[in-house]
Structure 1
Amino acid sequence: MDIIEIELKKSMEEEGCPICRLVEKFEKEEIETILYEHPNDPEVRKAFQKSLGLCPRHAWKTLKLALSNPLLGPHGISVIYEDVLKWYLKGGQSTEECFLCKLSSEKEETLLESFSERLPSLIESYEKSPSILCRRHYEEILNRISDEKLKEKLSQIQRRKLERLLKRLESFVDTFDYRVERRPSEKERRALAETIEFFSGREVGPECRERRREKKWPLKLR
């Protein structure tokens, strides 16, 4: 078992999409590195100039992290955006996508390839885990698998996971009935967030989705 496989298995230990979770972790670590180590790095500044700062989601995510962590603070991101503003006032234009979107996209692609390649040794862990691949990542992985038996097995596991999720969501909805006296369990409470995460994923990955819209996803489980 290599380091990547260990990382993927560990990401399955909690509810939600394991790929989304790892991309989210990567983004947080990258933002921390930028804020803590690279405010004066010429290459980082140039990357920010080329995209005129970050996309809206990554920009606010970076500011939020900077303001919430006293070890980071707003100084680093202020230095970077001061440079971007000066560049813009001199006539600088946006020529590339968001710096963090690009990094996240590369990381996401690596994780999807790694998950797909290691699926024969990961599939039992995934089956036993509480995690559920979000719809987009599930479909991405399914499209990368050439072994039909493996595809079918993953599809069956995914369906069973979603059917169990549906039962929890139905139980949660039932607790709103005035005739029901019990309170929802913690698992029932989490069902709504998990369902939303399945369909929409987490707020991670690249902002630009044009390349994904061009792909033809399978519309339903096999």
Structure 2
Amino acid sequence: MDVIEMEFRRAMKNPGCPICRLVEEFEKKEIETILYEHPNDPEVRKSIRKSGGLCTRHAWEVLRLAFSSPLLGPHGVSVIYEDVLRSYLRGEETTEECLLCRLSAEKERILIGSFAERLSKIIEAYESSPSIICRRHYEEILKLIEDESLKARFSNVQRRKLEELLDRLRGFIESFDYRAEKKPKETERRAILEAIEFLAGREAGPQCRVGERRGKRWPLRLK
């Protein structure tokens, strides 16, 4: 068992899409690295400058993490954006996309390929896990599977998971009926979150583009 397979198995122990979860973890580590180690790195600064700063979601995520961590603080992000602002005032062109979007897209591509490559080894773990691969990642993985019997098994596992999720979601809805005698189970309460994550993906990775979710999570206490 290699390190990547171990990471998939770890991520599958939780509800939700394991690939989305690993991309989200990757993004957080990259943000910490940029803020802690690279605010004065000329290549990193140049890349961020060439994109006119980070995209909307990543810019606020970086700021939020900077203010929430006593080890990071606002210094690194201030250094980076002082450079971007000076570049803007000089009239320099923006020719690249968000650095974190590029990095997370590459990480996502590797994870999708790695999951498809190791599927025969991890499909049993996936089948028995509470995780459900999101719609977009499922469709991308399916394209890469050449073994038709493995593809069929994967499709059947995914369908069973989604049918079970639908049952839990119905159970949660029925619990609001005044005639209901039982309170919803925790798995039923969680069903709406899992359904949205399957259909829309986690709030991480390249599916979250500029302009999407604009204004969400903005309130910050800048202490």
Normalising by structure 1, report the TM-score.
0.92
Q: What residue identity is the alignment partner of 1:80?
A: I
Q: What residue identity is the alignment partner of 2:13?
A: E
Partner Cα distance (1:181, 1:156) in 2: 34
Residues 57 and 209, structure 2, Cα contact 8 Å, conserved in 1: no
Partner Cα distance (1:76, 1:181) in 2: 55
Aligned ranges 1:79-94 → 2 under 5 Å: 79-94=79-94
Partner Cα distance (1:181, 1:64) in 2: 43
Partner Cα distance (1:24, 1:61) in 2: 11
Shift of 1:70: 1.5
Q: Does 1:106 align with 2:106?
A: yes
Partner Cα distance (2:203, 2:55) in 1: 13
Structure 1 stretches (4+) deviating beyond 6 angstroms? none
Provide the aligned C-alpha RMSD in A: 1.1
Shift of 1:182: 2.5
Give the match for residue 159 of structure 2.
159
Gap regions ≥5 residues in structure 2: 211-223
Q: Does 1:76 align with 2:101?
A: no
- Percent of residue pairs identical: 66
Shift of 1:168: 0.6
Give the match for residue 42 of structure 2.
42
Partner Cα distance (2:150, 2:192) in 1: 29
Shift of 1:54: 0.5
Partner Cα distance (1:74, 1:194) in 2: 34
- Name whichever of 170-179 and 17-26 sits farther off: 170-179
Aligned ranges 1:61-210 → 2 under 5 Å: 61-206=61-206, 207-208=208-209
Normalising by structure 2, report the TM-score.
0.92
Q: What residue identity is the alignment partner of 1:16?
A: G
Partner Cα distance (2:33, 2:52) in 1: 19
Partner Cα distance (1:208, 1:148) in 2: 34
How many aligned residue pairs are there?
209
Q: What residue identity is the alignment partner of 2:78?
A: S
Secondary structure in 2 matching 1:86 = helix
Secondary structure in 1 matching 2:80 = helix
Partner Cα distance (1:35, 1:63) in 2: 10
Partner Cα distance (1:13, 1:132) in 2: 10
Aligned ranges 1:48-67 → 2 under 5 Å: 48-67=48-67
Residues 12 and 126, structure 2, Cα contact 8 Å, conserved in 1: yes
